[in-house]
Amino acid sequence: MKCSCGERLKKAIENYKKFIMKETLGVEFNFVENLDTEEVDFNGQSGKLLVERV
């Protein structure tokens, strides 16, 4: 998984990263500067998320 977001959302994701990885069977989670995906609203915080099947 890759995520492009602001600091506030990044901090929230970091707090729940283990849970997110377990629930999605994720192998890795990286924060990147920019993604070529649609922006999504995460409870008032905007960001982009890319989930790829491996």
Asked if pLDDT for residue 32 goes beyond 90, the answer is yes
Q: Which two tokens mark 21? A: 């990885």
Q: Considering the chain, what is the average pLDDT of its residues?
A: 93
* Cα 40 from Cα 54, distance rounded (Å): 23
Amino acid at 16: Y
The structure tokens 């999605």 sit at 24
CA angle centred on 51, ends 9 and 28, rounded to 5°: 80
pLDDT value, residue 48: 96
Residue 35 has pLDDT above 90, yes or no: yes
What pLDDT is stored for residue 53 in this prediction? 86
Rounded Cα gap, residues 13 and 28, in angstroms: 13
Of the chain, the end-to-end C-alpha distance in Å amounts to: 10
Global confidence as pTM: 0.79
Band of the pLDDT at 54, cuts 50, 70, 90?
A: confident
